[in-house]
Structure 1
Amino acid sequence: MRQTPSGGAGTGTAPAGGRPMSIGTVLRLLRDEFPEVTVSKIRFLEAEGLVEPRRSPSGCRKFSPEDVARLGHVLRLQRDHYLPLKVIREHLDALERGERPRLPAAAPGRRPPASGEEGPEGAPERRTAPRVGRAELLAATGLAEAELAAWESYGLVAPDPDGGYGIEAVTVVRLLADLGRFGLEPRHLRIMKAAAEREAGLLEQVVAPLRGHRNPQTRAHAEASAQELAELSVRLHAAFVQSALRVGSR
């Protein structure tokens, strides 16, 4: 039986009594702590297998208090630890096996605001994203300095003005190295980078009107929507590539 994660949204959020809830009720419960959550976000997490609500005979989703607690736990891991869905799924699987998996430390940065708390000029206070230095990037990936310099010359990896790198650079460098073992050179991979930048530009157009809104919750919704769009676009890109490879092999 699925174990409810401790510290989930069920604490002070899910109603007692175990009555099944509609997705709209779940949304209202979660928004006390996660104002940026949307119905589409809940459906996306369901599609990824992170929550499995029962279905009524008519096909409507029916969430238990344990489902709400699980959703809250997933959203908290994304918000506080910047964990990708794959790692969150592995963490939840370990909990179901009765294990007590350790979580990485919460991402460095300022304390997240309490419900309704705002930062300067009415904007929600935002945490600083994790960063690494050049030496840390090389150590974490096992990359040689010359290789990193070559990739930087092609624009595949780029430091910030202060010389640091976003934490996602570690993933990028590892993937570049894996692709390089198949004979793909920086000049080949530059095409992928350009395509990703065009895709990011398209997604930015979708959320740009929300980012400039005066309402802080609307701006927070824009950030959540951008993350969800990015996750969906990655899945779509993977499906397109796999489909193209199957067609090419016929």
Structure 2
Amino acid sequence: MPEPRESAFGAAGDQRIPHLSRGSLSIGEVLAVLRDDFPDVTISKIRYLEAEDLVHPQRTPSGYRKFSSADVARLRYVLAAQRDQYLPLRVIKEHLEALDRGEPLPAVVPGPVAVPPPGGLDAVDDDGGEPLPAEQFARAAGLEPEQLADCVQFGLLVPDAKGRHPAADLPVARAAAGLARHGIEPRHLRGYSNGADREAGLIEQLVAPLLRARSEESRARATEKLRELAALSAQLHMALLEARLRDLLRP
């Protein structure tokens, strides 16, 4: 029996991949392998990445997908590039196409190339558990109770009917707390909230057709589009802010 062939992603003998000696994995087995490192991955996400031509599993005569260890490694690269660098799928696909041409594969290194949205887009599908009472939320965020009240008054945070706050809003509250320590109070941040509302409305227009389709594949596509658009929007915001601040340092 021939030895497992080494792919451009590394040796085929990854001990985390079950049934490797049998040559290929079902999509369910691939999901089980990937979930240790990527808990949010779903079958719909894997199918979506296939539809986007990022992975190319074989098909059995009856139409079932069969993934090789190289396919699994390819999926790992895509998922890690999204999670660790917030790379859009277009860029990741260019990397993989370069690999297919025999060129070196760019390394995925820690540290995003674009600023992720607060809480990450995984918060779209995750409410972060039970909402926190205002006092507990403020303590976790580093806000004084009156500062939390100001964040609510000026539209930065929206509590539920019982006055509780979702844990997913903690990144916003912590950022407000940090700015307050520099003398920038919540009342000064109304423009941030209004700007975020406008950006969210623009992005919503772009993904609304996918969300209306209501299929798992369409939702996966919408999530990926939201992730990419949010990262690009945050990148633009940071670049514009840095450009304005650079003017302050010019002689």
CA offset at residue 216 of structure 1?
3.0
Q: Distance in 1 between matches of 2:214 and 2:190?
A: 38
- Equivalent positions of 1:1-250 (< 5 A) are 32=43, 34=45, 35-37=47-49, 38=52, 42=78, 45=82, 48=85, 55-56=98-99, 84=120, 128-133=127-132, 134-250=134-250
Runs of 4+ in 1 over 6 A off after TM superposition: 49-54
Aligned residues: 180
Q: 1:240 to 1:63 in 2, by over 3 A?
A: closer
Unmatched 5+ residue regions in structure 2? 1-8, 25-40, 55-76, 109-117
Q: 1:200 to 1:39 in 2, by over 3 A?
A: farther
Q: 1:158 to 1:221 in 2, by over 3 A?
A: same
Q: Deviations over 1:192-222 (max 9, x none)?
A: 1111111111111110111001533112321
**TM-score, normalised on structure 2?**
0.54
Contact 1:211 1:218 in 2 (8 A): yes
CA offset at residue 16 of structure 1?
6.0
SS at match of 1:156: coil
CA offset at residue 228 of structure 1?
2.6
CA offset at residue 158 of structure 1?
1.3
CA offset at residue 11 of structure 1?
5.5
Contact 2:156 2:190 in 1 (8 A): yes
% identical aligned pairs: 30
CA offset at residue 175 of structure 1?
0.5
Q: Distance in 1 between matches of 2:15 and 2:208?
A: 34
Unmatched 5+ residue regions in structure 1? 18-29, 68-81, 86-106, 108-125
Amino acid at match of 1:130: G
CA offset at residue 147 of structure 1?
1.7
Amino acid at match of 2:82: L
**TM-score, normalised on structure 1?**
0.54
Contact 1:54 1:61 in 2 (8 A): no
Q: Deviations over 1:76-119 (max 9, x none)?
A: xxxxxx9759xxxxxxxxxxxxxxxxxxxxx9xxxxxxxxxxxx
Q: 1:202 to 1:61 in 2, by over 3 A?
A: farther
Contact 1:54 1:62 in 2 (8 A): no
Amino acid at match of 2:249: S
Q: Distance in 2 between matches of 1:190 and 1:143?
A: 17
SS at match of 2:198: helix
CA offset at residue 157 of structure 1?
1.4
CA offset at residue 237 of structure 1?
1.1
Q: 1:218 to 1:56 in 2, by over 3 A?
A: closer
Q: 1:183 to 1:56 in 2, by over 3 A?
A: same
* RMSD, aligned CA: 4.6
Amino acid at match of 2:131: V
